[in-house]
Amino acid sequence: MRALANALDTGRIHHAYLFTGTRGVGKTTLARILAKALNCLGVDGNGGITSKPCGVCAACKDIDAGRFVDLLEVDAATNTKVDEMRELLETAQYAPVSGRYKVYIIDEVHMLSKSAFNAMLKTLEEPPGHVEFILATTDPQKLPITVLSRCLQFNLKNLAPALLATHLAHILETEKIPFEPAALDMLGRAGEGSARDALSLLDQAIAYGAGEVKAVQVATMLGVLDQTYLFSLLQQLANGDAKALLAGIAGLGERSVSFELTLKDLAGVLARVALVQSAGADAVEGPDALRIVEIAAQLSSDDVQLFYQIALLGRRDLALAPDEQSGFTMTLLRMLSYKEGAAVNLESAPAVKPISTGISEQMPANAAPSKAIGAVPDVVSYATLSAAPFDGDWPQFVAAQNMSGMAGMLARQCEFKSFDGGVLELSVPDQHKHLAEKPYQEKLKASLAPHFGGNVKLNIKIGGAGDVSLAATEDRARLQSQADAEAAIEADPFIKNLQQDFGAEINRASIRPAQP
């Protein structure tokens, strides 16, 4: 910026400037300062072009207030039409009304259409002496070379976290708002190089802390903010919506978040989801507990284990990726493609047609709910058997071993083929073939060793219907207990009364089997 200041002080004025840098870094703010510098009249009204606009003359004040007639600001993101551009540029031929220069600030200039660029180019090629163009963009690569070559370009660097924190401290001191420096450090980092983002986070922090900015509260606030995008990523994974997922990742890229940290946080959230799935909703606390429980209900526990594993591996390999965002994108797409596609979805099972009016809404608030209308659990538990030697019943064997993690994931989907004392032959259906990858096999082999001996060889083939795996057995049991629960509800005399006396309808999708 010293180069810009020197140029102004020595009167070497270029007629078109281009400010580049990430969003919120201060491009338009700088453009307005430059507009003031060019038009400042000085404290005494006799000033000239200066690198230090006075801020008190009519020109400076009018520019600050956004009513300086010779400053025209356009947001190209909303005014891309060539007609609007042409209209705007036609005014360039008229001399400024009150200022020295007629200043055009065009923000997000890369958004202009090609014809709008051409219209602008004509003026850029032969600019009237009193015209100043100040273009700003986050994306200079998208500008035509003909425009680039006519501009003096300044790249605004991202603001370092410490610099942002100092800036915030200065504001708070002026406003006499108490703060803890550690809180500002966090806000400075969270600003990700953008003064605008840091300021808006500071505003939220002041509101959140009821007039104070304290470290503990800011940590909580930022934590909550962070998890909002983590949850929407998980939601898109649960929905299997690749398009929304990619759009979400692109959004993160624009905010230049650290993808490495995002993967770490994602694994943290998945760990809490797994906790809820195995120990119930009470296992998590905090402002986001409800969202954790929601996600836990939408993902199978296998998927959660898998996502967790993939997140850790993705984070480890991030340094090898062409760039962080690609590495992150591939990691999430991997989750999506390895997600259980064939999981039984009770809502879409043909026998279960949801009816619009939920019975829970129709029930009097003090009525004791029927035992069958439990909230979440749909887990079928198997009696834990002793570590007996393998007797040929693979599903029962797997259930008895209570295998977890990758070994359990593979074992649950496998069908038994044969065992000749040395080689255990299994098959895994095509839609779960990713589970036959080496790391899964090695884990399974290790956990089988106590029963089959350390030298057991695994031979896992891809294919088969998969209907005698533990997973399939459990799915059938789940469907059966669902059908039982629905039958029990329909036979319940209390429910029958509700139907007769209040016209209640049963929302079958809301029926869940009671926990055994």
Binding residues vs Zn ion (CB under 5 A): 40, 53-54, 57, 60
Closest CB to Zn ion among 53 and 140? 53
Q: Residue 264, Cβ neighbours under 10 Å: how many?
A: 13
Q: Specify which residues 458 forms β-bridges with.
A: 424
* SS3 state of residue 294: helix
Q: 287: burial class by Cβ within 10 Å (0-12, 13-18, 19+)?
A: exposed
Please identify, using beta-carbon distances, which residue of 62 and 324 lies nearer to Zn ion: 62
Q: Judged by CB, which is closer to Zn ion: 40, or 119?
A: 40
The minimum distance between CB 105 and Zn ion, in angstroms, equals: 18
Q: Which residues contact 493 (CB under 8 A, 6 or more apart)?
A: none
Query: Smallest distance from the beta carbon of 62 to Zn ion, in angstroms?
Result: 10
Return the DSSP state at 255: T
Closest CB 177 distance from Zn ion, rounded Å: 30
CB contact at 8 A, 126 and 95? no
- What letter does residue 158 receive in the DSSP assignment? P
Q: At its nearest, how many Å lie between Zn ion and the CB of residue 59?
A: 5
Query: Per residue in 110-124, is it b (16+ CB within 10 Å) or e — as a string?
Result: bbbeeebbbbbeebb
Looking at beta carbons only, is 44 or 126 nearer to Zn ion? 44
DSSP state of 373: B
- Residue 182's CB is within 10 A of a number of other CB atoms, namely 15
The CB-of-101 to Zn ion minimum distance in angstroms stands at 13
Q: Which is nearer to Zn ion, 54 or 215 (CB)?
A: 54
Minimum distance from CB of 320 to Zn ion (Å)?
54
| Number of other residues whose CB lies within 10 A of the CB of residue 374 | 15
Per-residue tokens: 242: 């690749």
Q: Least distance (Å) from Zn ion to the CB of residue 64?
A: 10
CB 154 within 8 A of CB 20: yes
In angstroms, the CA 146 to CA 152 distance is 13
Instruction: Pick between residue 60 and residue 88 the one whose CB is nearest to Zn ion.
Output: 60
Distances (CA, A) of 491 to 281, 397, 486, 496: 30, 36, 9, 7
Query: Which residue lies nearer to Zn ion by CB, 21 or 53?
Result: 53
Q: How far is the CB of 42 from Zn ion (least distance, A)?
A: 6
**Residue 57 or 293 having the CB closest to Zn ion:** 57
Q: How far is the CB of 54 from Zn ion (least distance, A)?
A: 4
Which of 65/319 has CB closer to Zn ion?
Answer: 65
Both structure tokens of 303: 């998927």
- Residue ranges with strand state E in 277-422: 415-419
Whether 217 and 208 have beta carbons less than 8 Å apart is answered as yes
Q: Which is nearer to Zn ion, 49 or 295 (CB)?
A: 49
- Nearest to residue 51, comparing CAs of 103, 106, 1, 118? 1
CB of 219: closest distance to Zn ion in angstroms?
42
What residues contact 207, with CB distance under 8 A and at least 6 apart? none
Contact 220, 190 (CB under 8 A): no
Tokens standing for 299?
Answer: 């993902």
